[in-house]
Amino acid sequence: MTKAPRVTGKRVIAALRRAGFEVIRTKWSHYFIQHSDGRRTFIPVHSGESIGPGLLAKILRDCEMTTDILQSLL
């Protein structure tokens, strides 16, 4: 397992879309995404800010992914 990358919310959403996730709704700056098999999470998108390592780990847990898979999708 590799160290979690520092990425913005837009890049995480783009990577998860490549993995089959779709944005189902937004509320202000939070994007709620879901996979067809039921996995879902939310991602905050704030301009110029990267997602912290703790929140990124939670997003990956919710999506049942590893940092290696995320790295390959980025």
Residue 33 per-residue DSSP state: E
pLDDT at 14: 94
Report CA-CA distances (Å) from 10 to 15, 24, 35: 9, 15, 17
Residue 25: band (very low, low, confident or very high) from pLDDT cuts 50, 70, 90: very high
Report CA-CA distances (Å) from 52 to 22, 27, 37: 22, 20, 27
- In this prediction, residues 18-37 reach a mean pLDDT of 93
pLDDT at 5: 77
Q: What is the pLDDT of residues 38-68, one digit of tens each?
A: 999 999 999 889 999 899 999 999 999 999 8
Domain map of the chain by residue range?
Answer: 1-31+54-74
pTM metric for this prediction: 0.85
